[in-house]
Amino acid sequence: MAGGTGGAGGQEAPLPIAMSEARRGAVAAMLGARSVAVVGASPRPDSFGSRMVIEAQRGTARVHLVNPRYDRIGDALCAPSLTDLEDDVDLVLLGVPDEALLEQLESAVAIGARGAVLFGSAHGLSEKLTAIAMNAGIAVCGAGCMGFINNVRGVRALGYLEPDPLPAGGISLITHSGSAFSTLLRARRGFGFRLAVSSGQELVTNTADYVEYALDDPDTRIIALLMETPRDVPRLRKALLRAAGQGVPVVILTVGGSPRGKAMVAAHSGALAGDRAAWDAFCAATGAIGVSDLAEFADTLELFSATRRSRGGGVATVHDSGAERALVADLAHDLGVEFADLTDDTLATVGALLDEGLAASNPLDVWGTGADTRNLFGSCLRAMIDDPGVGVTALAVDLVTEFDGDTAYADAVLDVAELTEAPLAVLASVPSAIDTVTAQRLRDNGVPVIEGARSGLAALGHLAHWPLPVEESPSPGRRRDIDPGASASEVLAAYGIPVVGSRSADSLDQALAAADAVGYPVALKTVGVLHKTEVGGVVLGLADTAALTAAYNAMAQRLGPAVTVETMVDGGVEISVGFVRDDAFGPLVVVAAGGTLVELMEDRVVACPPLSRSGALRMLDRLRVAPLLAGWRGSPAVDIDALADVIVSVSELAVDHGDEFDAVEANPVITTPHGAIAVDTVMIPRHLRDQKIE
């Protein structure tokens, strides 16, 4: 389990119930510790040992100091070792060099501690440390972490000084990044924390454990996750689905989705990062909100922390600048954030308020003469909020310091906020220009100030559409066994997927016999090449014996005698359907524009199995080639239900046998008004990437 990559697909095996309960108990004892031992305590100012002591003593837990060099540190006694302590200890902070970690963790186990924080990098020690902790059943935060703060229980298990008191609120933050941990704790934004964990390498206790703990707290309002590496994905998925069921939004910022980013994560933590598409699929499967950077992360957390929730609908913004209104419209288009279509009544109400020459619209430019700014902007905001198509409203002004003392913008927002429970925020474009006093006044009165046009618009879009739909998993079907020697076509056929008639051949006579069996016209394909068209390994529309003979002789001379002879399928839309096995997430269903353009177009949608029919249809709707399926410029619509059935069947195959293959693909699946049929198939057995079975 070291590094979280044990078991199939980098995923831990499900825990037995008794072990699961013991694990949850250990995590709760660690995070809610009533007594803490600080190993490596020091009186030296600004030392790591001193910072550990300062932070531990800021909390409410009993603190025991351990260091053989000292008898006392300040007014507190200091024991030479953990085993010399007379009182019970729930949590041990190990601020010691890596070479001392094994011995000290064993001592923590010996005194019955329920948890430990490993601040050091533990280079080369991961497996041994994990084994010690797992055998003893203790929780471990780290290694390579900043520690944690439980704001509710008053536990501060840190090696670095953080805000005291930590702003209180409804967020439980779990982050793999120590730097981001400190940044968010010091952000001075309109949110606060119940729990904040810098989890580091997660040698033992992982994000799923922390999320489960947070969800056991009925006052947790938001789960905030910053993740480099997905660990224990099945348990994490279950925990996030629980959050969705409890109405707790989960905001996830992931890093390492690019090739260079993945390499950086591996170099940093020694663990695998998830591909961006895999993370997107995971968020979609769990109803989590995926964000792209720390600015969007902070804006989304502040917006959701206000606890005002959308009734559904689009975004509405009110501006004091025509140019900035246009900029926001451009950014929203790029981000896919939808502005609400206002009703005629709303447009008439707003239009009556505007100066001559200004038009009622969304987004709305209000600035004219500037007369009676407070009432003008307040009335426009209220009209927008009352529109049934608006899910969230923002006053989009830069909130700069007004040297004439004008507070009209803030006054207008606060006037409206008192009259409604609908989501309302201030959207500023330049964070460094925000007047901090005005911003704090708004935040103190429950109005979020989101700091950046791009990040803020994304956050508004997240709130407008939350909760995200989470489809119930279909009931598991009967698992179908696969003959180890079966071809890719035979495997797909076993799951009810229509496949084209095909026969193998190693000679001209066999090829001619195969054509007689499947019926002319036929397609001739070479065997053993993944991208056949690139090497001239596919010849289509062979109408008779003469055409087949000529094509076979030419292909055999260049590529070898082994071929398949297949029934021709004409027309239709080509779609690729299959699954790939991700090291962290396991099998992922992939639907893409098919045929020879699949890599060029990069038009693909990825989802976590299992999928229902409705889930399959949603995947197809998200393809850029979706209009072709519906009928484009006079062409008939295809049998979309038949194509969805293929996707569902591939999803079932992925669930049943996803650990046996690195990839299974039908490309293309030709879909016509009369059905869908897999024409070319390939499967790559796990760990045999060079052995492709067609």
CA distance 146 to 178: 6
pLDDT average, residue stretch 358-372: 87
CA distance 433 to 352: 32
Residue 416 confidence (pLDDT) above 50: yes
CA distance 462 to 460: 5
Residue 596 has a pLDDT of: 64
Q: What is the pLDDT of residues 475-494, one digit of tens each?
A: 777 788 888 888 889 999 99
Residue 92 confidence (pLDDT) above 80: yes
Residue 405 confidence (pLDDT) above 80: no
Q: Which residue has the tokens 């004091």?
A: 320
CA distance 150 to 273: 28
Strands 314-319 and 72-73: unpaired
Residue 444 confidence (pLDDT) above 90: yes
Q: In what order do the strands lie in the sheet with 250-254?
A: 155-158, 147-150, 193-198, 168-175, 222-227, 250-254, 289-291
Residue 227 confidence (pLDDT) above 60: yes
Residue 116 has a pLDDT of: 98
Q: Name the least confident of 534-538, 614-618, 671-675.
A: 534-538
Residue 473 has a pLDDT of: 74
At residue 563's C-alpha, the angle toward residues 562 and 565, to 5°, is 155
**pLDDT bucket at 391, cuts 50 / 70 / 90:** very high
**pLDDT bucket at 370, cuts 50 / 70 / 90:** low
Q: Considering only CA atoms, which of 178, 152, 175, 176 is closest in space to residue 165? A: 152
3-class secondary-structure state, position 624? coil
What b/e readout covers 66-82, taking b as 16+ CB neighbours within 10 angstroms? bbeebeebeeeebbeeb
Assigned token pair, 400 = 């700069």
Q: Look at the pTM and tell me if it is higher than 0.95.
A: no
Q: Name the least confident of 157-171, 465-479, 670-684.
A: 465-479
12/675: higher pLDDT: 675
Residue 502 confidence (pLDDT) above 50: yes
For 359-418, the DSSP string reads: ---SSEE--SS-TTHHHHHHHHHHHHHHSTTEEEEEEE------TT---HHHHHHHHHHT
Q: What is the pLDDT of residues 504-526, one digit of tens each?
A: 999 999 999 999 999 999 999 99
Residue 275 confidence (pLDDT) above 90: no
At residue 116's C-alpha, the angle toward residues 112 and 120, to 5°, is 140
Query: Phi first, then psi: what are they for 169, rounded to 5°?
Result: 180, -160
Inter-residue long-range contacts of 636-640, CB under 8 Å, 24+ positions, other chains counted: 636/673, 637/673, 638/572, 638/573, 638/671, 638/672, 638/673, 638/676, 639/671, 639/672, 639/673, 639/674, 639/675, 639/676, 640/671
